Amino acid sequence: MNRAAKWIGWALAVPATLATLFLLTAWIGSAIPRNAGWTESAAGIDIMVETNGVHTAIVMPLVSPQKDWRTDFPARDLSMPYRPYTHVSVSWGERDVFLDTPTWGDMTLSTAVGALANGDGLLHVAHYIRPARSPTLRVLRIAPGEYARLVTAIERVVPPLEGRIIHPGYFDNDVFYDAPGTYHLGNTCNQWTSDTLAAAGIRTGLWTPLAGGVMRWVPKRALDKSP
């Protein structure tokens, strides 16, 4: 009985210790800034960073002098293509997690483990009409040159129109596309968000596997700015 109790204790202690180390490392990693000297532009392009508490995405004007996203993400791919969309939300993540877990209650252990070990990339694109800023949808004003670099970073994971594989979204305003990249613990959906922002020169955390690590760099004071 004592030996069995010890084995049970180890079985419980090891995962708890690993989880604690992961959370501590994620907290420290997300606190280390990239582009530490960056500040918001007095005039420029308003983007938004959104979160559902677990996943983050970058929201941009559908059309701007720097980029017309309607070519890359045509509304005809949506179930409701004829609305007057003004913004596009782009995020990258793991294929099976995106497609098989429309709600977190659908998540299985095998899906989660497979994603963290070696998952395939998938692009999630949602179209919005004048999205309202909120605590979970925060505004950043960036310079035109920074936005151009942001566009270039996102274009790297946009699949070509010819031969593109499209998957239905969760709602009538979103869609999924097969995309390049391998998902693992060091390259999560939230890491993609911060890496993309960093490529544009925007201040963000070094390692941000969790959504909170991304959002800590997008201050709520930005809610006072007009999108």
Give me the pLDDT at residue 104, please: 44
Residue 198 CA, distance from chain mean position: 13
- What's phi and psi for 124, nearest 5 deg? -110, 125
Which of the residue ranges 1-5, 83-87, 117-121 has the most confident prediction, judged by mean pLDDT?
A: 83-87
Predicted TM-score (pTM) of this structure: 0.86
Q: What is the pLDDT of residues 162-217, one digit of tens each?
A: 999 999 999 999 999 999 999 988 899 999 999 999 999 999 999 999 999 999 99
As a whole-number percent, the residues of the chain with pLDDT over 70 amount to 80
Give the β-pairing of 56-61 and 33-34. Answer: unpaired
Give me the pLDDT at residue 55, please: 93
Q: What is the pLDDT of residues 92-112, one digit of tens each?
A: 999 888 887 644 444 444 444
Provide mean pLDDT across the span 48-64: 96
- What's phi and psi for 78, nearest 5 deg? -90, 160
3-state helix, strand, coil in the chain (%, to 5): 35, 25, 35
Structure tokens at 198: 């960093």
Give the closest residue to 225 by CA, choosing from 134, 139, 136.
139
pLDDT for 22 beyond 90: no
Residue 225 or residue 80, greater confidence? 80
